[in-house]
């Protein structure tokens, strides 16, 4: 669904009232420029536009329409130099609606000679610089974009910002399950739930091990068999008995049932929970095709902000996200081995041939059912890493980009994993992250979304550390 955007096109009313011959055509030119902007943006977002704002009365008309339509973002675009009072009125009345300032020009390239008329037609930068001062005095933060509407990069940047604003709204609606609770031995992951909801957006739904057991037991045996057969058809099975495989599939189908029952967008499982092991006999670690269909992200060790980070990366890329920690490092080539036990999406692998279903190596032999999970190497390519770190007050984003080596990297037995090579010095990266305080988990996705994450941190008004 497209974001609903209020378009605030500004101009100075005094030029509309001028009787000076050289400026008589200016309103006509500015109006045509406005029509072109609306036409360009309407292809990508739901535009709410009441016309060029040149007075407080026109600002009031825009405010009424914006509130009625419940716009999610205001794009403020001075088409030429403009007066402050209409803008201040509009921004004050619209409250905390995010702002994007557009440093606009009607010209792709300046002509060698500019008339007085053309000079004022292209004076939007004057209006923008002038607007920035009072906006900051009002305590307002805003995004920034610069360029003409015929420039594809300019339109792309506006659309990208709009999508990020839409994501901040989506975060307010996220239902995040926690099963059964936080991981007691990992205090770096402890979260103030009030801050989580008020700053990031998601609200928690606690789910008991008893609910998982009940959901798992209610799964029809025929459904379990269908999923077992599908796994055997698609992947290699190594050292997992049929009994263990059936029980592991049943547990994962129980997770899928809970996702449906509670309409979850994300789930954090404390797979180290003694209660989970005692009651279930294993931890759910098989990411079934059914979970892929549900578009759910799942973190382990009860990592709530890890699940939020995974949700963010999933929404920005529409790609599977790996829940990971840095197992090992190699300073000689600035690389780390990242990965984690648990429910990892096999779509991260290059193909099905690279996925092996193995016993749960961390719990193998510790119960009647040793469980099963998936071993694979994540495919090669550029990747983005994200941590959302709980602080004493609020949160911090740590963002980094690297290169996944795929099958050319180190192969780790028994774990979903990836070797990531960085372009920056590893010791400097570790030093800054550790000294600043962090968690030990990273969400990783293929693709470069570092710039988007920086903007998202600004929209959420949280600290960021970027590599």
Domain boundary assignment for the chain: 4-171, 175-466
Residue 370's pLDDT is what? 76
Q: Which residues pair with 6 in a beta bridge?
A: 48, 74
Is the separation of the CB atoms in 298 and 269 below 8 Å? yes
Q: For 330-363, how does the pLDDT look when each residue is reduced to its tens digit (9 = 90+)?
A: 999 999 999 999 999 999 999 999 999 999 887 7
- The mean per-residue pLDDT over the stretch 120-136 comes to 92
Residue 37's pLDDT is what? 96
Please tell me whether residue 201 adopts helix, strand or coil conformation. coil
Give the span between the Cα atoms of 407 and 404, in whole angstroms: 9
- The mean per-residue pLDDT over the stretch 124-136 comes to 93
Q: Give the CA-trace dihedral at 289, 275, 203, 465, to 10 degrees.
A: -80
Question: Which CATH number is correct for 4-171, 3.90.330.10, 3.40.630.30, 3.30.1310.10, 3.40.50.10940?
Answer: 3.40.50.10940
- The mean per-residue pLDDT over the stretch 268-273 comes to 96
Residue 20's pLDDT is what? 57
Instruction: Pick 423 or 1 by higher pLDDT.
Output: 423
- Nearest residue to 250 (alpha-carbon basis) of 276, 272, 225, 274: 225
Measure the CA angle with vertex 325, ends 320 and 326; round to 5°: 120
Q: Above 60 in pLDDT, residue 220?
A: yes
Give the span between the Cα atoms of 76 and 214, in whole angstroms: 54
Residue 26's pLDDT is what? 86
Give the span between the Cα atoms of 113 and 111, in whole angstroms: 5
Q: Give yes or no on whether 4-171 and 175-466 have one common fold.
A: no
Q: How confident is the model at residue 3 (pLDDT cuts 50, 70, 90)?
A: confident
Is the separation of the CB atoms in 129 and 104 below 8 Å? no
Residue 445's pLDDT is what? 98
Q: For 281-311, how does the pLDDT look when each residue is reduced to its tens digit (9 = 90+)?
A: 899 999 998 888 888 999 999 999 999 999 9
- What Cα–Cα distance (Å) separates residue 158 from each residue in 103, 129, 400? 11, 19, 23
Is the separation of the CB atoms in 296 and 266 below 8 Å? yes
Give the pTM.
0.92
**Strand 4-10 to strand 175-179: parallel, antiparallel, or no bridges (unpaired)?**
unpaired
Q: For 149-185, how does the pLDDT look when each residue is reduced to its tens digit (9 = 90+)?
A: 999 999 999 999 999 999 999 999 999 999 999 999 9
Is the separation of the CB atoms in 370 and 244 below 8 Å? yes
On the question of a cis peptide bond just before residue 214, with omega within 30 degrees of 0, the verdict is no
Residue 13's pLDDT is what? 85
- Nearest residue to 418 (alpha-carbon basis) of 328, 292, 294, 307: 328
Q: For 354-385, how does the pLDDT look when each residue is reduced to its tens digit (9 = 90+)?
A: 999 999 887 776 666 678 999 999 999 999 99
Architecture of the domain spanning 175-466? Alpha-Beta Barrel (3.20)
Token pair of 361, please?
Answer: 């190596």
Q: Above 60 in pLDDT, residue 19?
A: no
Percent of the chain residues past pLDDT 70, beyond the cut: 97
Residue 153's pLDDT is what? 95
Tell me the Ramachandran region of residue 312: left when phi exceeds 0, alpha when psi lies from -120 to 50, beta otherwise: alpha
Q: pLDDT averaged over the chain?
A: 93
- The mean per-residue pLDDT over the stretch 216-245 comes to 95
Residue 104's pLDDT is what? 94
Q: Above 70 in pLDDT, residue 17?
A: no
Return all residues near 435 (Cβ < 8 A) that are at least 6 apart.
none
Token pair of 127, please?
Answer: 């209006």
Return all residues near 155 (Cβ < 8 A) that are at least 6 apart.
40, 41, 44, 149
Handedness of CA 398, 404, 410, 415 (dihedral sign): positive
Please tell me whether residue 323 adopts helix, strand or coil conformation. strand
Q: Above 70 in pLDDT, residue 429?
A: yes
């Amino acid at each position: 669904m497209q974001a609903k955007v209020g378009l605030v096109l500004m101009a100075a009313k005094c030029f509309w009232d001028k009787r000076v011959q050289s400026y008589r055509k200016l309103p006509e030119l500015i109006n045509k420029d406005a029509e072109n902007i609306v036409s360009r943006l309407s292809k990508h977002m739901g535009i709410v536009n009441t016309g060029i704002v040149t007075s407080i009365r026109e600002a009031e008309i825009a405010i009424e329409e914006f509130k009625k339509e419940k716009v999610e973002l205001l794009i403020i675009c001075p088409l030429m130099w403009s007066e402050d009072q209409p803008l201040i009125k509009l921004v004050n009345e619209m409250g905390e609606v995010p702002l994007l300032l557009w440093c606009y020009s009607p010209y792709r390239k300046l002509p060698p000679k500019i008339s007085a008329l053309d000079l004022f037609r292209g004076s939007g930068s004057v209006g923008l610089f002038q607007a920035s001062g009072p906006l900051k005095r009002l305590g307002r933060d805003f995004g920034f974009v610069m360029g003409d509407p015929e420039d594809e990069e300019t339109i792309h940047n506006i659309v990208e910002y709009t999508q990020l604003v839409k994501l901040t709204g989506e975060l307010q609606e996220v239902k995040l399950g926690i099963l059964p609770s936080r991981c007691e031995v990992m205090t770096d992951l402890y979260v103030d739930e009030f801050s989580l909801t008020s700053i990031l957006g998601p609200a928690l739904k606690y789910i008991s091990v008893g609910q998982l057991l009940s959901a798992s037991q209610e799964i029809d045996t025929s459904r379990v068999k269908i999923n077992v057969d599908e796994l055997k058809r698609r992947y290699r099975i190594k050292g997992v008995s049929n009994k263990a495989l059936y029980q592991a599939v049943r547990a994962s189908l129980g997770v899928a049932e809970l996702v449906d029952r509670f309409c979850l967008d994300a789930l954090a499982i404390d797979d180290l929970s003694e209660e989970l092991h005692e009651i279930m006999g294993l931890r759910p670690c098989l990411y079934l095709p059914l979970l892929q269909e549900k578009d759910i992200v799942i973190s382990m060790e009860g990592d709530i902000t890890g699940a939020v980070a995974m949700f963010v990366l999933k929404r920005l890329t529409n790609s599977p996200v790996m829940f990971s920690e840095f197992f090992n490092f190699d300073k000689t080539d600035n690389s780390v081995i990242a990965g984690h036990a648990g429910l990892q999406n096999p779509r991260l692998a290059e193909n099905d041939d690279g996925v092996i279903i193995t016993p749960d190596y961390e719990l193998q032999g510790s119960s009647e059912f040793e469980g099963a999970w998936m071993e694979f190497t994540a495919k090669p390519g550029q990747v983005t890493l994200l941590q959302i770190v709980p602080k004493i007050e609020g949160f911090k984003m740590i963002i980094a980009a690297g290169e996944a080596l795929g099958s050319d990297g180190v192969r780790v037995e028994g774990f979903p994993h990836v070797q990531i090579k960085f372009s920056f010095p590893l010791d400097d990266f570790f030093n800054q992250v550790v000294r600043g305080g962090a968690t030990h988990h990273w969400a990783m996705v293929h693709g470069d979304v570092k710039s988007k994450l920086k903007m998202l941190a600004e929209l959420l008004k949280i600290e960021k550390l970027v590599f």
